[in-house]
Amino acid sequence: MKIGVWATVAMVFAGAAFADSPEVKKVDARKSGGSWSFSVTLKHGDTGWEHYADGWGVYLEDGTELGYRVLAHPHVNEQPFTRSLGGVQIPTGVERVLIVPRDKVHGTGEGFLVKLQ
């Protein structure tokens, strides 16, 4: 999956447009060896199998996908919730990435910019 540059910019700056989409509340990014692990906390009004946060991805600012975490079931009674993704390869020189959530109804939500340290 690749997100266009303009779509990425829109996700970062148009928070009001994503009111019913999943919201990234917190990200813990850790480097281990040559790869990164991300623990992402999402909040979403999951209502059941028809409408739930079904994943989140790690993207470069140009929209290139570096990794994607599928969320296989609703988290109706577990909000917010945290899930992790390891083994993400970040190109040399990249100082920040976007975490972009998605749900089954609205698609992608607002991007969350993470500064890598």
Rounded distance between C-alpha atoms, residue 3 and residue 1, angstroms = 7
Structural domains of the chain, with CATH: 5-115 (2.60.40.10)
> For 19-70, what is each residue's pLDDT tens digit?
488 989 999 999 998 899 999 999 987 777 888 888 999 999 999 999 999 9
**Cβ atoms within 10 Å, residue 15:** 13
Rounded distance between C-alpha atoms, residue 96 and residue 39, angstroms = 15
Rounded distance between C-alpha atoms, residue 62 and residue 57, angstroms = 13
> For 61-108, what is each residue's pLDDT tens digit?
999 999 999 998 887 788 898 999 999 999 999 999 999 999 988 888
Residue 10, pLDDT > 60, answer no
Instruction: Determine contact, residues 58/65, Cβ cutoff 8 Å.
Output: yes
DSSP state of 2: B
Tell me the pTM: 0.80
Rounded distance between C-alpha atoms, residue 49 and residue 35, angstroms = 33
